[in-house]
Structure 1
């Protein structure tokens, strides 16, 4: 808790709270987020395989819950964004992305972790890199190298403006999209965890170091506000998983579309 004694007062949290090394293997430092990412990935993989292994026509409660969770990214994201003709081959990728991002985000609300995996920029970059490679790859496959760049410019534009639009589209496809996709996810998880940490440590500071009963009493509404922010953060964590997967599907949809 960053509450310093000796009259120095409350010390607000800094980004250093996200650096939580556990141990080293050779020159590699294994951090809290890396450990939780491995645990979450393993539990998700084992759980999904186990629940779907004995699927039946009349589903059990576990199978019913799994199908409901699976159908959300499959139908509401993949099918609706990409279309019924092309979406099925991208369902495994998009369902996997949705569950990974969702539970990596939820690590920020687990009392054993309280540190979102995607609060470290490396994880959003890795997830974004997968999306980046896939939507360019399917675009080149469908349209060819020249055709992929040609489809970035809508037909019918005046000749003088076409080069400007082409340049803007190239920047959008190759720079802006991956940059914003990664930074949006990282920024929300980073900021949300910082705010919760601020309220919790502030409440402890009021309680343990408050000068008088009134200052100590301020710890109660501060603790309550931390709880409110934690609930709000759960909603944000879900929405960011949805938005990340939705944007990934929209980029793939643009790459496989027949027109601009």
Structure 2
């Protein structure tokens, strides 16, 4: 990455998110996605081995994480009657988004995979979107599901010609897109800000003169932003899983 051209600082931008291939057509984000699967699998396999009635710290951590996905997300959003079959899906989505977000603050990795729009879109369009429509159609029937999603029972008849297209656009087009764009935008913007302060601090440090005294301020902002970004990474993973469960719950609900 170029830090300066002559004496002028060149700020990082969109181009810095398009990393060169490691080998062949394989890029760093692709490797990180595969690595995240191994990390998540290893975590739950290790936590579920030799489980005890009185859990140790590691087992307690895994059980707490499971409880958030099961009771804090799936049960609350889908309902106590229908949530159990979807617990593995919700926990998997939560874990996958969380680990790939946290890659952005891991030393020597330092790239949140979800800052590439293709990855959150894949989770949204290829996993969440077909699941909640499938379970909705299975419960209500195809025509019943269309009516369920686009015609609120309490809406007056004279607003239906306007309301139906809006509801259809939201449920079948916008929901999966906004689900992906939300986490993408947060990860992209956060990582870009971190790069700006870190690279600006480095450029000031090596520029000489009075600017050297300003460099620590830039680095302090970068450290503060790292902690803030860590919080946002966790929140965005939680929100992604929460909305995914909410869409499934809305598709299964008897009332719109």
TM-score range, shorter chain: over 0.9
Alignment counterpart, residue 177 of structure 1, candidates 175, 178, 190: 175
CA root-mean-square deviation: 1.3
1:76-131 alpha-carbon deviations (Å, 9 max, x no partner): 11111111101111000000000110010000000121110101111101111210
1:194-219 alpha-carbon deviations (Å, 9 max, x no partner): 00000000001111114x2x211000
Deviation at 1:73, TM superposition (A): 1.4
Alignment counterpart, residue 188 of structure 1, candidates 181, 186, 189: 186
1:167-203 alpha-carbon deviations (Å, 9 max, x no partner): 1110001111011111111010000000000000000
Aligned residue pairs, count: 254
Deviation at 1:159, TM superposition (A): 2.4
Q: What is the distance in 1 between the residues matched to 2:100 and 2:181? A: 15
Q: Map 1:118-197 to 2 at 5 A.
A: 118-129=114-125, 130-152=127-149, 153-197=151-195
Unaligned regions of 5+ residues in structure 2, if any? none
Q: What is the distance in 2 between the residues matched to 1:206 and 1:23? A: 30
Q: Which runs of 4+ in 1 moved over 6 A?
A: none
Unaligned regions of 5+ residues in structure 1, if any? none
Deviation at 1:226, TM superposition (A): 0.5
Q: What is the distance in 1 between the residues matched to 2:223 and 2:195? A: 11
Instruction: Give the TM-score normalised by the residue count of structure 2.
Output: 0.95
Q: What is the distance in 1 between the residues matched to 2:46 and 2:67? A: 18
